[in-house]
Amino acid sequence: MISLAPQTQKSQLAPYPPAERYSRQILFPGIGTEGQQRLASARIAIVGCGATGSALASLLARAGVGTMRIVDRDYVEPSNLQRQSLFDEQDAAESLPKAVAAARKIAAFNSGIVADPQIHDLVPSNTESLLAGFDLILDGTDNFETRYLINDFAVRNFLPWIYAAAVGSYAVTMNVLPGKTACLACIFPESPKGMIETCETSGILNSAVSLVASIAATEALKVIVHGTDASDVRRTLLSFDLWTNDHAEISAARPRPGCRACAGRDFIHLSGEGRPHITLCGRNSVQIHERSRPINFAEMERRLLPHGIVRHNEFVLKFWPDPYEITLFPDGRAIIKGTTDTALARSLYARYVGS
């Protein structure tokens, strides 16, 4: 039988010429040939690759952003698939780390760019090594603690970053252009109470995610192609509720006098003051990232086997000491599901992993 399929392996195919791949985007006057070249040489970091991070990474990777670092602490689960558009059922079945699953998906649709997966929780001690050297940082996180950390790093280094969040049917986003516009701490000196609800507690529409990611990704294109001084780059905090149709825009055109970060140059989140090593992490789970403890998965699996079901791949080890579920990463970080009691989580970690 004669196969009609191409005989060449994927790796032997010549990459699609950029002029062809991006032709429709180059035709758009805001981008053009020169803009496309700027996108190709841009380096961005996306922190958090859940729903918003997936959508941002997908849009910007397809748009041809040349280098993209994806930082995420979590692994794919079935409940992610409703809105986290870079993942599929196989990723969930394998409990693949989201950063790795995202980079694989991106490589499958755009082999001409670099997607660099980093399986880490962004914390003060690794922020410099994970975010230094990038032109723009995008927010795909689900919590204010990490956003304040990004804000501190970006304001300190005069790096643009884009705040983006979606919960329920509500989407909110703001460009932070340090030294020019307001930063996150200018607008929210303290973590806003009403926004503490997360999609774990209030549910989320995938369309709210798409909306906020589309706006933030477009602002990212403008910043990369035209720079932070361009008049088209939005200088407001923009919010939109897709269900009620309420929308609002608050000026963020100037840093707030007296802002701790912009004016005081006091970066309390980056210095990690009072930051706990054990944190609640979504619904009914606790994360332990107390210290670096390199784990040999094969050895750990042998040790845990008498105590419950255990399996691992090269990225995560999962263990089910009834009624809990412990997910271990190679650096010793763990997510313990089935409790919100940090003392209990700590004792489970000590018992099964080590104290």
| Separation between Cα atoms, residue 28 and residue 6, nearest integer Å | 33
CB of 256 to Zn ion, least distance (A): 6
Please identify, using beta-carbon distances, which residue of 110 and 228 lies nearer to Zn ion.
Answer: 228
Please identify, using beta-carbon distances, which residue of 130 and 261 lies nearer to Zn ion.
Answer: 261
Please identify, using beta-carbon distances, which residue of 85 and 151 lies nearer to Zn ion.
Answer: 151
Strand 317-320 vs strand 325-328: parallel, antiparallel, or unpaired? Answer: antiparallel
Amino acid found at 189: P
Of the candidate spans 61-69, 199-207, 256-264, 276-284, the one that interacts with Zn ion by CB under 5 A turns out to be 256-264
Is residue 177 a contact residue for Zn ion (CB under 5 A)?
A: no
Tell me which residues in 331-350 interact with Zn ion (CB under 5 A).
Answer: none
| Separation between Cα atoms, residue 218 and residue 220, nearest integer Å | 5
Please identify, using beta-carbon distances, which residue of 225 and 259 lies nearer to Zn ion.
Answer: 259
Q: Provide the 10 A C-beta neighbour count for residue 66.
A: 17
Distance, CA of 272 to chain centre: 20
Of the candidate spans 164-172, 181-189, 272-280, 295-303, the one that interacts with Zn ion by CB under 5 A turns out to be 181-189
Q: Among 259, 270, 336, 348, which residue sits at the site for Zn ion (rule: CB under 5 A)?
A: 259
Four-residue CA torsion sign, 54, 59, 61, 66: negative
| Separation between Cα atoms, residue 136 and residue 158, nearest integer Å | 10
Please identify, using beta-carbon distances, which residue of 44 and 262 lies nearer to Zn ion.
Answer: 262
Is residue 186 a contact residue for Zn ion (CB under 5 A)?
A: yes
Is residue 154 a contact residue for Zn ion (CB under 5 A)?
A: no
| Separation between Cα atoms, residue 313 and residue 318, nearest integer Å | 9
Residues in contact with Zn ion by the rule CB under 5 A: 183, 185-186, 255, 259, 261-262
